[in-house]
Structure 1
């Protein structure tokens, strides 16, 4: 059933699962051709939005991996990023000489992911790649291109499958555009 704040469903649960299978195959093939320490990559999810997508990807990746998570702050609520990324919770895993795959729900400006990618390199990572469920290349403020992308979209405000509005609606089983006109008077 469609949530009342949904304007249009862009990608269904089935479409997301199918695309995730395709991406996992590409990732497996990529890492099989690399010299990876102990044949294990480190997949780092950027919480909280990454959870559904990262879980879906992990269901399909066959290459050996470890997982860890970071909490970054770049949104102060609402629908616009602040542009000033900060680490709220760091990972516990040593990244020195590791191949890292950052899992993200959406890339807008790219500022947060550029910050995290550079952060891992300064800590000694051998290689840092990025996978995102949704990419908004028209919103990019930095020269950052994800290595794997589920879907490219325009400038719509999205909800569902990890994407939120003020921490809500992440649990919708699809990616949808939000009817932002309704947000002004919306009562939870």
Structure 2
């Protein structure tokens, strides 16, 4: 047990060295949202990809895509859905390039279908429900290895939902996300 503990300590110390500024054009990551104001869907999982468009010293401009997977709380009435969020972000590196503060602005859209249900003598129709809106996502990334980071961000969604059967609604949602990613 002592040998394993020593080996783990040596490996962790060897990968936590100071990060040199290198060109990392791509970032890929996954995260889980700790919050979700939606009554129909559970907290989403998301995956993202960013591409560095321009870099000046410690400042980057990135283009990216974030994809959300929402599973339904009521799988008999509502299908699961995918939400897409193309965005533009800006990142600033500090603390010897180990810490990255970023902010992204984007456009969110999704679509899902409800299935017809029978409650007594009342039959609810099949509905196509579409959501779209603007997102703002400030966050931080900490590089504990030159290419591996942990990510924390808040995504604020201001959206309008169109329902082909019921009235259209507007609403806000906030996702507090924690995740892990790789840059290369």
TM-score between both structures, scaled by the size of structure 2: 0.30
TM-score between both structures, scaled by the size of structure 1: 0.29
Whose radius of gyration is greater, 1 or 2?
A: 2
Q: 1 or 2, which has the higher strand percentage?
A: 2
More contact order relative to length (CA 8 Å, sep ≥ 6): 1
